[in-house]
Amino acid sequence: MRRLNRKKTLSLVKELDAFPKVPDSYVETSASGGTVSLIAFTTMALLTIMEFSVYQDTWMKYEYEVDKDFSSKLRINIDITVAMKCQYVGADVLDLAETMVASADGLVYEPAIFDLSPQQKEWQRMLQLIQSRLQEEHSLQDVIFKSAFKSASTALPPREDDSSQPPDACRIHGHLYVNKVAGNFHITVGKAIPHPRGHAHLAALVNHDSYNFSHRIDHLSFGELVPGLINPLDGTEKIAVDHNQMFQYFITVVPTKLHTYKISADTHQFSVTERERVINHAAGSHGVSGIFMKYDLSSLMVTVTEEHMPFWQFFVRLCGIVGGIFSTTGMLHGIGKFIVEIIYCRFRLGSYKPVSSVSFEDGHTDNHLPLLENNTH
């Protein structure tokens, strides 16, 4: 009884076979079919390799939402070298809420040499080259996001030469925490002093001829410090043509959450517009000499996530490639064979010439040939 049930089950399974087997005696092979098969297998191999490279690659997904975090502090990371001695310059932040953040809260004034060493000049040249390429090809930013990791560093390398030249500049570096409102970070003549109606800089004791706001921005970023990321102002160098010169940077900051396979961080992207002019009160150009960075925060927040193609999607695409090429090449081969057979048959039919007609004396013609020929005399 069990054996009978097993045979019935096996017979039912055989009837459900969607891939019937054709005996080899019924299969006809041809040279054209073999050629098409070789082309199909080669195409499948190439497309499979390309699809595997796509499967290994990742891409960045951008999502936008309203930034609802207003209570936290914004971190500003600064590394700027000014071509003036440290006792002559002062840096601080003043926001729209009239809150002043003094540079003593997190910035370090370090005497330095403004001219770079050969190795540092090469670093700056490469950084400026990357900046120019980023302006032309925005998709390179995704590559920078994916390559950023905590062990990398884009900071200015230390001097490799033992220069005995005395320091002629001041390197201002460190970080400040400010309110998440629009503000103005500036470096100008004299140290900042508190004032009931705002703030002021003690510039009376500084000789006017010593003003020189030529500067180099080695690094400027907002939010968590992420080594490996290149910001729009990194590597910027400006040379003042006059003692009374103002450099302005108008910055729009966009909060960004970065999630890649190597790092997750809360950072900020920003765009910048630059402007510079000479202060000449007699000509109507008023203002204060110095470096002014006016920043404003966007109300939108961007979440950048690195994504990878799931394996099931890769498998489905691979099956589509194999099945599609088999079906397409099979149809093309059948159509081509059909066309060739039609042309060949017409050519063979056209090779037979019609039989000439027989004329009679009364003017009639006979197009029929006699079925039998009388050979008797």
Percent of the chain with pLDDT over 90: 13
pLDDT, averaged across the chain: 79
Q: Which position has the higher pLDDT, 351 or 293?
A: 293
Lowest mean pLDDT among 145-159, 192-206, 355-369: 355-369
Position 24 scores a pLDDT of 63
Better-predicted residue by pLDDT, 246 or 140:
246
State the distance between the two ends of the chain, measured CA to CA, in whole angstroms: 88
Q: What number of other Cβ atoms are within 10 A of residue 4's Cβ?
A: 8
pLDDT for res 295: 93
Backbone angles phi, psi at 366, to 5 degrees: -125, 115
Mean pLDDT for 60-69 is 86
Kindly tell me if the per-residue pLDDT of 351 is higher than 60: no
- What is the sign of the dihedral through the CA atoms of 20, 26, 31 and 33? negative
Confidence of residue 374 (pLDDT cuts 50, 70, 90): very low
The answer to whether the Cα torsion of 16, 17, 22, 23 is positive or negative is negative
Arithmetic mean of pLDDT, 326-342: 80
* 145 conformational bin, left if phi > 0, alpha if psi -120 to 50, beta if neither: alpha
pLDDT value for 209: 76
Whole-Å CA distances, 136 to 130, 132, 133, 141, 150: 10, 7, 5, 11, 27
Q: Give residue 292's pLDDT.
A: 93
Q: Are 187 and 173 in contact (CB under 8 A)?
A: no
What is the pLDDT averaged over residues 103-108? 75
Per DSSP, what are the bridge partners of residue 250? 273, 294
pLDDT value of position 220: 92
Per domain, the residue ranges of the chain are 28-59+308-346, 67-297
Task: Average the pLDDT over each of 16-30, 99-113, 171-185, 284-298 and give the range with the smallest value.
Answer: 16-30
Q: Where residue 371 falls among pLDDT bands split at 50, 70, 90?
A: very low
Confidence class of residue 22 from pLDDT cuts 50, 70 and 90? Answer: low
- Residue 249: its pLDDT value, please? 95
pLDDT of the residue at 78 = 92
> Which range is least confidently modeled, 34-43, 167-176, 248-257?
34-43
Please state, as a whole number, how many other Cβ atoms lie within 10 Å of the Cβ of residue 251: 21
Give the tens place of pLDDT for each residue, 208-237.
Answer: 777 889 999 999 999 888 877 888 898 899
State mean pLDDT over 158-177: 83
Q: Is pLDDT above 90 for 281?
A: no
Angle between helix axes 311-350 and 31-56 (nearest 10 degrees) is 160
CA distance 103 to 320: 62
Answer whether residue 346 shows pLDDT above 90: no
Does the predicted model carry a pTM greater than 0.75? no
pLDDT in tens, 248-271: 999 999 998 888 887 788 888 898
Classify residue 102 as exposed, middle or buried by CB count within 10 Å of its CB (0-12, 13-18, 19+): middle
Model confidence at 377, in pLDDT bands (50, 70, 90)? Answer: very low
